[in-house]
Amino acid sequence: MSDTGDERGRRDEVDREAEQGAEQRVQQQDGQQDEARGRAGEGARRGRRRFLKGAGIAAGGAAAGAVGGALLADGGQQSILASVGSDLTPDSAMAVPVAGPWRPRHNGHVDIVYSVDTAQKLVALTFDDGPMPNWTPMVHDVLDAEQVKATFFLVGERLVRNGGLIKDRMARHEAANHTWAHQNLSRMTHPEALAAIGRAHRAIGSVLGREARLLRPPFGHFGGTAVSAAGQLGYDMTLWSIKMLEKTYEAHPPKLVDYIVGNTQQGGIVLAHDTGNPDRLVALRNLVPMIRGLRAKGFEFVTVSELREAGARSPAPAPAEKP
């Protein structure tokens, strides 16, 4: 059932109210979580010492030995934390934001996509973190010259400041959401994640006149609240199947080209960045040989949404044979 204008208006009003003060709460929460992790770590160390002491005293008892083996078998402190520290689960782990009935806006589910099963040799090239004046125009120059489509995961506050760099250059490309200020979604409450995603969503609509429907969490980090916020706003999430390893190949750029061309699979999603640390220029300055190398292998470049549509049209893969 489609939403009425009044219902959409009420949801937008709720989203804007949730946004107020959210960024300050994120900063405060980060500090509190860091302090809590410090206390938890010290508590776990004390607990582990007490446990080991007790286990030593009762070493002759089979039950104590069994418990000690179970708790310490896969790494000691972490196992103890897992067994006695359930209260350490962060709020950001909760994937359902309310106690009552709730479902994501888009067909009741949130897809998290790394790659797509497709019978066609398609690949989606993606760029994160822009737009910024340093390299975003250079990336668009290359894509224009090579007639390549891409998906740009845009940081909302950077788009508001630098939208003029790309406003007239996005015709063939897809605009997607990379949150408002590139903060870590895995530490946010549901209202904070809703604000970070929703504010960027509105910026994309205002600057580019588009409604983004794909979210990539900064750093690839997310918890349950990021999924629930994405679902409330009608988003699916996009990760990647292969990324540029600029630091690894900083001294040998041709090897980065070989790595990307040799390891990209059909239906793959390639992660790159159009701003950031200087080593990322290793990838950006070698986009042309990467693009041409993939085309020589028969690949066609599409946006992430086009890739997903192609996957939906492709027949389901045959089930794996049992050994």
**Catalytically active residues, by annotation:** 128, 273
Q: For 152, phi and psi rounded to 5 degrees?
A: -105, 120
- CA 289-130-104 angle, to 5 degrees, is 110
* Beta carbons within 8 Å of 42's beta carbon, 6+ residues apart: none
Tell me the one-letter amino acid at 88: L
CA 124, CA 182: separation in Å to the nearest integer? 22
CA 180, CA 161: separation in Å to the nearest integer? 12
Token readout for 145 is: 């010259």
DSSP for residue 86 = G
In 3D, which of 59, 85, 75, 44 has the Cα closest to residue 67? 59
* Beta carbons within 8 Å of 69's beta carbon, 6+ residues apart: none
With tokens 């508001």, the residue in question is 160
- CA 25-26-30 angle, to 5 degrees, is 115
Residue 311, helix vs strand vs coil: helix
**Which residues make beta-bridge pairs with 176?**
153
CA 50, CA 94: separation in Å to the nearest integer? 31
Residue 90, helix vs strand vs coil: coil
Q: Tally Cβ neighbours within 10 Å of residue 242.
A: 17
How many residues in total does the chain contain? 323
